[in-house]
Structure 1
Amino acid sequence: MSRSITIALLAAGWAAAGCAQPARAPFDPGVCFAVERPEGEDVVFNVLARDQAQVEMCAARLEEMRLRFNRMGGSRREVTGAFQGQFIFVDGRGVSFSRSLDGPRFFALARTGDGRLAVPGAIERDITELGVIVEEAAPPAPPPFPVD
């Protein structure tokens, strides 16, 4: 009898754990959040910047935050943020967006050879004689007017 009660309690616990709601990114207009995921605790959203017009601007603020922490002696390689219902992931490859923390990601910005972020289409790839892929950012457009 006690064995069936134990099995029933375990099954109820697993069912309750499966019903836990995943974290949802806030929809506050123009507010960029830094996201912290402490182990065993709920996700924490900290306001990083306000009046951001686009998700790319929020990604730039997150990259700026990551660089400042690393200059102070930190070692964070990946930073997570949120902007108007989307999660933003900044890592060594570049910037990705997703609707959930653990779901599929859309790759949006790539890192150039010198670590800057650029739109993937702006990166030119050349194959050298040795078969090595070399990535370079596209050269900037010339100014529309003559420069003295």
Structure 2
Amino acid sequence: MKLLTITALGAGLLALAACEKATEAPFDQGVCYAVETGVEGEPPRFNKVAEKQPQIEFCAARLEEMRLRFLRLGGSRREVTGSYQGQFIFIDRAGVWISKTLEGSRFILLARTGDGRLAIPSAIQRAIDGSPVSVSANAEPATPAP
């Protein structure tokens, strides 16, 4: 009897936890937002960064640009959160991650190369130990035209 009561209580708590609504990103066509998480209990704020962005990669570039400008001005935040058409974007030292929810699982979109640039993960050459290798665009010096 006691086991049945505990099981029913546990199932009820799980059902309530499943009903908790996750934070959703706005779905404005082509608009890139920076997301500022509020203090405990407050909803996050969405600040418009850019409009007419054709793809999520362009929004990630605008957020990375914003992050670098703040660092040059003396800021200390190295991680930025943004959103684009219903997806959340997370930028950190490893690269750019995306997620459907603010609290959910994240998937890599762009990875950092050896020199800090962002690139599609499959385009990055890696050393045997897995670290990124930076390759110059021009491997050989250009020969002057005759």
Q: SS state of the match for residue 78, structure 2?
A: coil
Q: Residue 42 of structure 1 aligns with which residue? A: 43
1:23 maps to a residue whose letter is T
Q: Residue 117 of structure 2 aligns with which residue? A: 116
Identity %, equivalent residues: 55
Decide whether the 8 Å contact of 2:115 with 2:134 is kept in 1: no
Structure 1 Cα separation of the partners of residues 138 and 26 of structure 2: 38
Query: Residue deviations 1:24-73, cap 9 Å, x none?
Result: 10010000000000212111001000000000000000000000000000
Q: Residue 26 of structure 2 aligns with which residue? A: 26
Q: Residue 3 of structure 1 aligns with which residue? A: none
Q: Residue 59 of structure 2 aligns with which residue? A: 58
Q: Residue 71 of structure 2 aligns with which residue? A: 70
Per the TM alignment, residue 108 of structure 1 is displaced from its structure 2 partner at its CA by 1.1
Structure 2 Cα separation of the partners of residues 135 and 115 of structure 1: 10
Per the TM alignment, residue 114 of structure 1 is displaced from its structure 2 partner at its CA by 1.1
Structure 2 Cα separation of the partners of residues 26 and 141 of structure 1: 42
Structure 2 Cα separation of the partners of residues 36 and 111 of structure 1: 23
Q: Residue 7 of structure 1 aligns with which residue? A: none
Structure 2 Cα separation of the partners of residues 36 and 20 of structure 1: 21
Unaligned runs of 5+ in 1: 1-13
Structure 2 Cα separation of the partners of residues 95 and 102 of structure 1: 16
Unaligned runs of 5+ in 2: 1-12
Decide whether the 8 Å contact of 1:123 with 1:138 is kept in 2: no
2:38 maps to a residue whose letter is P
Could you say which structure has the higher strand fraction? 1
Per the TM alignment, residue 136 of structure 1 is displaced from its structure 2 partner at its CA by 1.9
TM-score, reference length from structure 2: 0.77
Q: Residue 106 of structure 2 aligns with which residue? A: 105
Query: Residue deviations 1:74-133, cap 9 Å, x none?
Result: 011110000000000000000000000111111111111111111111111123xxxx54
Cα 1:20–1:133, aligned 2, differ >3 Å: closer, same or farther? Answer: closer
